[in-house]
Structure 1
């Protein structure tokens, strides 16, 4: 039987990296902190003037993780401590030219966002075309970026029930009320405080500390996450050193 060599494709396929950065932010139109993400306004065609996820092209000499970190900092001035590959989007009609986007998702605490933005503003290199939007109230985005955000939200909401993924949005030590507020922002709905407390205390994911937060109400115990429980299930792959 004669074997034939496959004909190489004539159309160039480019690889891009994009990221969905989640943080719990206090936006002016909401009385409570909400799950939000930064978007970048495009300055050229296609979709000039439309909002899009931050990202850029993969360079030949860098790996995907490095490209995701680089393009995030270049477009948003943000450097997340938690960055995970989400999915590859490569529908033929997603762009005027054939582009496969490897999408990452990232988590950043609100105070980390403020500190990083302030540092770049002080240095005079903060990007001007970036704005934060509530994840539940996004405009029509460029390309298939609404679909990408929907998928990232689905993944995040599924993980929050069985992993310590919310830790990426919380400080090292936090109260159960803090954790409930972040979980409510992720899920987009209110939770019963008593049931929530019972569930998390029985989950073995939290370790109570001997510290308390004091204020106008009775002191609230501070907790930390059990480090033996992974932030998210990454599978059997070992991260490159």
Structure 2
């Protein structure tokens, strides 16, 4: 904020000009605190986004469990069909044991063919299940990697924004504090001009400073304050420097 230019009146600076500048400084401090609050809201929003990205890993684990159940179900179904084929072949073989040799040989060929078909069906089911599992692993690995990258990006972005806001807040606070200190010195000079031009003003300032010190201290002796010290105490009452950090 640029240094204020106060208008000079007969006994010092124009009080209206000083009040206007104080109001402007008050508004700047309010805006600075508002920016800090907005930064906190943005950081909370980014944190929720990071937590949402982390849910992707939970979904991947659920997909693995579901795929494992599917694979087990497929293998169990294939084994059941193979067992049924084998049982049927064995039953047919028992029925044909009393048939002529040529008929028996033909039946055994059929039984062997049925058994081979059952073995192929089980092998095919296993191969399909293994392919599905491998595909799911590749897809899940890609999903987890992407989710982690997104979470890292969001976290990095949140940290960068927070550091930027904090840095700017410190700069703005230091600028504001410097302006307030300059204003304090200006008011002290203004009061000193008034004291020198009018002795009544000096006595009034000394009396007001003494009253302020008596109210601020519960115990202790009170000495005679000089008129220069009275001007500084009066200026300190007019301007209260806000030294508390904004964030």
**RCO greater where, 1 or 2, for CA within 8 Å and sep 6 or more?**
2
Give the number of the structure whose residues are more often helix, by fraction. 2
More strand by share: 1
How does the TM-score come out when normalised to structure 2?
A: 0.22
Per the normalisation by structure 1, the TM-score is: 0.22
Structure showing greater radius of gyration is 2
